[in-house]
Amino acid sequence: MRLFRHELKGELLLYVRSRELAFFTFLLPMIFFLLLASVYGNDRIKSEGNVRSADYLEAGMIGYGAIAIAFAGLAIVLVIRRESGILKRLRATPLPAPAYVAALLCAFLAAFALEVVGLLAIGRAFFSVPLPHHALSLAIALLLGAVSFCGLGIGLTALIKSAEGASAVVNAIYLPTAFISGSFFSPHSYPRVLRAIADVLPLTYFLRLIRNVMLHGHEIWSQGTNVAVVAAWGIAGVIVAVRSFRWEPTEG
Amino acid sequence: MSAISVRDLRKSYGALEAVRGVSFEVERGEVFGLLGPNGAGKTTTVEILEGYRKRDGGSVEVLGVDPAAAGGDWRERIGVVLQSSAMYETLSAGEMLRLFAGYYESSRPVDEVVELVGLREQRDQVVRRLSGGQRRRLDLGLALVGDPELIFLDEPTTGFDPHARRQAWETLRSLRGLGKTIVLTTHYLDEAERLADRVAVLRRGEIVAVGPPAELIGAAPATEIRYRENGREVVLETDSPTRVLNELTAKALAENRELEGLVVRRPSLEEVYLTLTEEEAE
């Protein structure tokens, strides 16, 4: 427990120091929210039960933040640490692997929590988006989503062989995913092909889940399908992660 | 009790036998060098001792424990410097040391470590801005911050300029003063000669010689005598240089001529090493 707390402090310091993480995964969702909501925040979206765009976009940016921080940020950081040999170096110290992984995840979850608070504050202050009613349901939904994306992020590291490739591969996956799943726009207007792809992506279900809670007043326990799909993806990621996680750099 | 005891250690990667029946002991407080060309099995051997790799055969005890089954208590007692210095580029040297110090139950004060590895002035500098030699010394500091009994150094000065190597040697000598047991791998002979109490020379996964550097040199065959006669270079190799030299000089004196360019040399560790590690003619 002492080691966990010590490592968590270290991880938070590392997170704050990393400009790439701070900008691309932490600030960018808030910047997009400010820009897009300024442009069409007051429009109504007919296909989504006539909700305001700003409200719809706020939930979308929370989903985008979840995949950017928990999935993309975590995967990139882990691959770089593995390939540079930092993970190997840590293995020679008495720091137990579970304490290390737990501290790393908690640092990224804390960053996501701060992201959500930031987005809610921006929505409230600039675009009159009401604060969510079902705070507990939302908190559980956000935790479920963030942990699932962490699992997928760690699982993805098994497929990336070099630190140089990390950003490229991760960006090529999460940016289109965020777009297709409907972080920025309602997917109802998308072509059939894109909607077919969206129907299997975890972010689609996570967005439905949090929009149903935030915009339509549902509690999380009425959202069985969405919860199940998000959790299933997360479990799949964890299984891959557990089976193929490596501490040492790729050889040759 | 020895710090390290290795008996008939074996390790293969597929068809390649990287380590083929290696045995040696390292005493407590000793500086032990593993010397050999690239691919001789140095790193494989050391990584088995560090607990990174599983062995295929033989027995290994490091501080009385089998590294393959060792836990956190054992890791409290060892320090490791790997071939590449991997660190968090965005932390300062001091922050990096504090982070690692926290992993150990009893750690050496960061101020002391900074002093020991000669990074007092770079303490608040970000790792990214450190020179290659400074990074390497910080890496050594990270291995020392847990106050280990036994330290592994895998090629600690590879890629250094001569000045940085000398500095690193000074640091390593000061460690020996602290009574630490040190295992270092290197392919620099002068490094092994200057730092190690005993050296094992590895070739293709086997130990071909082991002993104090001076003894290895002493065990080498011939002393070399060179001089010029009628513009032609004469090279004699002999195991009894006193007699040969006496005969040569007596003859030259009698004939009243000078042995031009007379040189008498003992082989250096470098030559011993080259003899030991050169590929046998098939």
> Which residues of A are less than 8 Å from B87 in CB distance?
86, 89
DSSP per position, B179-244: T-EEEEEES-HHHHHHH-SEEEEEETTEEEEEE-HHHHHHHS--EEEEEEETTEEEEEEES-HHHH
Q: State how far residue A245 is from chain B, nearest Cα, in angstroms.
A: 15
* Higher per-residue pLDDT: B163 or B135: B135
The interface predicted TM-score of the complex, written ipTM, equals 0.91
High-pLDDT (> 70) share of chain B, %: 96
Partner-chain contact B99 A248, CB within 8 Å: no
Partner-chain contact A18 B90, CB within 8 Å: yes
Residue B6 forms beta bridges with which residues?
Answer: B24, B60
Q: Is A47 exposed, middle or buried (0-12, 13-18, 19+ CB in 10 A)?
A: exposed
| Mean pLDDT calculated for residue range B83-87 | 87
Query: Domain total for chain A?
Result: 1
- Asked if residue B280 has pLDDT above 60, the reply is no
High-pLDDT (> 70) share of chain A, %: 100
Distance in angstroms (rounded) separating the CA atoms of residues B91 and A21:
15
Q: Is residue A250 part of a domain?
A: no
- Asked if residue B159 has pLDDT above 80, the reply is no
Interface residue of B43, B65, B76, B103 to substitute, partner A, most A CBs within 10 Å: B103
Q: State how far residue B79 is from chain A, nearest Cα, in angstroms.
A: 7
Q: Is residue A69 part of a domain?
A: yes
- Asked if residue B162 has pLDDT above 90, the reply is no
Distance in angstroms (rounded) separating the CA atoms of residues B218 and A189:
86
Residues from B in contact with A at Cβ < 8 Å: 50-52, 72-73, 75-76, 78-80, 82, 84, 86-88, 90-91, 95, 99-100, 102-105, 142, 146
How high is the pLDDT of residue B282?
35
How high is the pLDDT of residue B84?
84
Residues from A in contact with B at Cβ < 8 Å: 3, 6-7, 10, 13-14, 17-18, 84-86, 88-89, 91-96, 248
Other C-beta atoms closer than 10 Å to the C-beta of B198 total 19
Q: Consecutive 10-residue runs of chain A (252 residues): their mean pLDDT?
A: 94 92 91 94 87 94 97 95 94 93 96 97 95 94 97 94 91 94 89 92 96 93 94 96 90 68
The residue range of the domain holding A63 is 2-244
Nearest to B140 by CA among B179, B171, B165: B171
| Per-residue model confidence as pLDDT tens digits over A64-76 | 999 999 999 999 9
pTM above 0.95, yes or no: no
| Per-residue model confidence as pLDDT tens digits over B90-143 | 999 999 999 999 999 989 999 999 988 889 999 999 999 998 888 988 999 999
| Per-residue model confidence as pLDDT tens digits over A176-232 | 999 999 999 888 888 999 999 999 999 999 999 999 999 999 999 999 999 999 999
Residue B226 forms beta bridges with which residues?
Answer: B235, B263
Partner-chain contact B51 A95, CB within 8 Å: no
What confidence tier does B232 reach under pLDDT thresholds 50, 70, 90?
A: confident
Q: Is residue A251 part of a domain?
A: no
